[in-house]
Structure 1
Amino acid sequence: MWPVCLHPSATTSPPPRAFAASDRSEEIAMAASTASRLSPPRFRAPSPSLHPPIRRSRFSPIRAAKLEAVLSIGTHLIPHPRKAASGGEDAFFANSDAGGVFAIADGVSGWAEKDVNPALFSRELMRNSSNFLNNEELQVSRDPQILLRKAHAATSSIGSATVIIAMLEKTGTLKIASVGDCGLKVIRKGQVMFSISPQEHYFDCPYQISSEAVGQTYQDALVCSVNLMEGDIIVSGSDGLFDNIFDQEIVSIISESPGVHEAAKALAELARKHSVDVTFDSPYSMEARSRGFDVPWWKKILGAKLIGGKMDDITVIVAQVKTVVVPEDEGGDTEEQKGNEQGAAAVVVSAE
């Protein structure tokens, strides 16, 4: 939990000083008693201060306050070399309001064989996901699986896509709904401390949200959540990223990058470099060999093996968890407080 309360320090008055009695103590006490009976007490007016007291702001830290988690988000997309002119078939969106949310959809290229543009489905799915963020049900639940259900139901394009949606609650909990092999990892202090597993029917055939009734739905999504800390880094991407880059390379680039935008670009460019390198033993080629896919037996005799990167669209989203101090409302104007919360989050995000 992130909330924390700030209270003014308690102060106590010092004990009265003790003065030594003099020989005339009884006489002085009698005179004071007589004066108090004969005349009303007189109060000395305080001397004017050279520094008048400063009026506290309504949102002074001395009032109750809480910490809320927000995301600073950087993105980068590099299309498949042969699809650069059309922008590729990946689509994504990112939004830093109310904590933060991002999503990636990887259009299934097999639809091109049926004269269907695979990019249309993934792009409409992401556009609908972004539009439904303001839905009243989503405002309350902050549930990525519900967002996926609504976005899929509203998508009319023919096609299919793997998809991942992640939403950060203000308490620091990241909620995830994923169908297929888009990936997500959480890096904390230079270590990968969380990673989701891909869903597939068989090798190179992942689960996918589809326009066809036989495809997967939001109910087939892998749903999970992870509690994050300030400073945690989230790296998410289409399979074009994770098929071509190893965890240690991701951690190294994150540690060397000055911000999330630079990190997203560097990761995408390294994945693209590996994807076209026929001598690079990529995560994809290693996984293929472990599943029984390899060069013919006669090439094995000569010492050859299945190797190389996998050319694909590459989408990368890098997000860093940050916190902002938000004053708690104490019976004041709720709308005013809400506006200040959103403003604080916007400042943090734009700082990158």
Structure 2
Amino acid sequence: MAASTASRLSPPCLHAAPHHPLRRSRFSPLRAAKLEAVLSIGTHVIPHPRKVETGGEDAFFVGGDGCGVFAIADGVSGWAEKNVNPALFSRELMANSSTFIKDEEVSQDPQILLMKAHAATSSIGSATVIVAMLEKTGTLKIASVGDCGLKVIRKGQVMFSTCPQEHYFDCPYQLSSEAIGQTSQDALVCTVNLMEGDMIVSGSDGFFDNIFDQEILSVINESPGTDEAAKALAELARKHSVDVTFDSPYSMEARSRGFDVPWWKKLLGAKLVGGKMDDITVIVAQVKTVVIPDDEGSGVELEKVGGEQLAAAGVASTEQNE
């Protein structure tokens, strides 16, 4: 059965800076202008310590053509027991997602994008996945299957979080090459209205299993940009993942589900602790706005601003003649 929820934080708040009244000029016509939301995006990936040479089993893509789009797929490592490379499915799924993003049928709908990308993926395997699309109006559309996650941070607080989907502990929903697996119809679908300055933090379970919300907020607050934030968050999660004494979110969840050390160790005060070694993928995005004339609202290429990618439509400004 498909799972679908909708979360709306507040109406989009895309304000332009104050300016003097516009006056017509005999030398240049007055052009109507509008505000559009864009994303400044940073990414960082750290493979599992034993999978560094192969690049790990996570995959992602970042793109944009009139909207900001990013996605993460986490290949299910259990396929290695069947002599199948788990990375092949997640990589092909992301490659297909990147290809279909401009398909007219997708129409800025992440669930349809998942459907088309999944149908076109021929590799054997399975993966958890999340896709997020930012419309020019500031509306973020999300579709996720499994336990890749996403959080929205506003003014130093987590204002929205996706919920993981699982069959049971450590067995998440997943898109699969097998007919018995989940499909895009099982995706958790969310819609969030964003404001300028909002931060989006998305990652594979290897990230969220090893870091707490307060740590995420602290790193975001201390980072000068999205590239730096993504790298710092991934490195902190990696540090926790190999720390056998760290009481990680994963360990806490395991204990709450009844998994713990033997009873005789409990008598000695021991408990199940430690991080979870895994591939770690982090995407950090900040919502920004640009002013764009109605007659120049297309054909603007992506550009670099402060070393960070603007994964959306480009920049212009209203004409002002004193």
Q: Please indicate the TM-score interval, normalised by the length of the shorter structure.
A: 0.7 to 0.9
Matches within 5 A, 1:239-258: 239-258=205-224
> Is structure 2 residue 298 aligned with structure 1 residue 338?
yes
For residues 262 and 305 of structure 1, what CA distance do their matches in structure 2 show?
A: 35
- Residue 103 of structure 2 corresponds to 135
For residues 145 and 349 of structure 1, what CA distance do their matches in structure 2 show?
A: 32
Q: Give the structure, 1 or 2, with the largest relative contact order (CA under 8 Å, sep 6 or more).
A: 2
> Is structure 2 residue 181 aligned with structure 1 residue 181?
no
- Residue 184 of structure 2 corresponds to 218
The aligned length equals: 297
> Is structure 2 residue 57 aligned with structure 1 residue 103?
no
Equivalent in 214, 233, 249 of residue 199 of structure 2: 233
CA apart distance, 1:92: 0.3
Point out where structure 2 has 5 or more consecutive residues left out of the alignment: 1-11, 310-322
% of aligned pairs identical?
Answer: 79
Are residues 9 and 320 of structure 1, via their aligned partners in 2, closer, same or farther at CA, if it must alter by over 3 Å?
closer
Are residues 57 and 291 of structure 1, via their aligned partners in 2, closer, same or farther at CA, if it must alter by over 3 Å?
farther
Matches within 5 A, 1:137-152: 137-138=105-106, 141-152=107-118
For residues 10 and 156 of structure 1, what CA distance do their matches in structure 2 show?
A: 56
For residues 247 and 63 of structure 1, what CA distance do their matches in structure 2 show?
A: 45
Are residues 97 and 307 of structure 1, via their aligned partners in 2, closer, same or farther at CA, if it must alter by over 3 Å?
same
Are residues 245 and 179 of structure 1, via their aligned partners in 2, closer, same or farther at CA, if it must alter by over 3 Å?
same
CA apart distance, 1:63: 2.8
Does the 8 Å CA contact 1:91/1:122 hold for their aligned counterparts? yes
Matches within 5 A, 1:1-352: 1=12, 9=21, 56-57=27-28, 63-138=31-106, 141-329=107-295, 337-339=297-299, 342-343=300-301, 346=303, 348=305
- Residue 318 of structure 2 corresponds to none
Say what the alpha-carbon RMSD is for the aligned residues.
2.2
For residues 189 and 253 of structure 1, what CA distance do their matches in structure 2 show?
A: 14
Point out where structure 1 has 5 or more consecutive residues left out of the alignment: 12-52, 330-335
Q: Deviations over 1:2-55 (max 9, x none)?
A: 6889998499xxxxxxxxxxxxxxxxxxxxxxxxxxxxxxxxxxxxxxxxx986
Query: Which has the larger share of helix?
Result: 1
- Residue 9 of structure 2 corresponds to none
Does the 8 Å CA contact 1:7/1:63 hold for their aligned counterparts? no
For residues 114 and 229 of structure 1, what CA distance do their matches in structure 2 show?
A: 46
CA apart distance, 1:97: 2.9
CA apart distance, 1:57: 4.8
For residues 170 and 10 of structure 1, what CA distance do their matches in structure 2 show?
A: 24
Q: 1:84 is paired with a residue of what secondary structure?
A: coil
For residues 219 and 349 of structure 1, what CA distance do their matches in structure 2 show?
A: 39
TM-score, normalised with respect to structure 2: 0.87
Does the 8 Å CA contact 2:36/2:289 hold for their aligned counterparts? yes
CA apart distance, 1:96: 3.5
Does the 8 Å CA contact 2:14/2:195 hold for their aligned counterparts? no
Counterpart residue type for residue 49 of structure 2: P
Does the 8 Å CA contact 2:13/2:194 hold for their aligned counterparts? no
